[in-house]
Amino acid sequence: MFGLYPAGSDWVRTFAMDDQVMRDIQKSLVEHAGFAAAILHQPFGEHRGAVVAQSGQILVLSATTSGTAQLAVTPTVEMQHLLWSYREGYATQWSALEIRSLTGYAGWDELLTRARREFTRACESVAAAIAGTLQPPVVTTARTDPMNEPFPNEDDDAFYSRMAAMSDIQEVPSCVL
């Protein structure tokens, strides 16, 4: 259904959804893996997949053919063209400034490393969402130092009550000579 995209077969992975609903997979990716929900646009053209979710430069596409329950993970159109250029030996046509403006990466080394990492993470997240095992990331709370806390809103009643509580501290008597 999805076929090949410009970057080649190394940059697309398909997943079969047996009994899952695409919207449930989308919700799981958004809530638990930090993806952004998409509006089912078709960046590669008709019948090439509709975007369900996006994470950075990686898209999750849903099959647009009725009766087909598949998802595909692949880079964005812009990233596809950059990866194709690199694979075909046209990497020198792109300056570091162009790569940075298109992707946010400093150059080819960073682009290839981070794109592969993003792609792998997205594939793992989609596989876990389909299997129903995708869990939200564990958030660790660091102990905060009161000296490094941000200043509260001075128009807030909580600020005034906190300042009043702090003013109850006994003053140290001054030295008498």
Does 13 reside within a domain?
yes
Span 59-85, mean pLDDT? 88
Does 155 reside within a domain?
no
Note the pLDDT tens digit of each residue in 87-116. Answer: 999 999 989 899 888 888 888 999 999 999
**Dihedral of the CA atoms 2, 39, 29, 50 (nearest 10)?**
0
As beta bridge partners, residue 59 has 54, 74
Range of the domain at 88: 9-131
Report the domain count for the chain: 1
Residue 175 has pLDDT above 80, yes or no: no
Q: What is the pTM of this model?
A: 0.73
Under 8 Å between Cβ of 86 and 112: yes
Binning pLDDT at 50, 70 and 90, where does residue 83 land? very high
Does 164 reside within a domain?
no
Under 8 Å between Cβ of 94 and 111: no
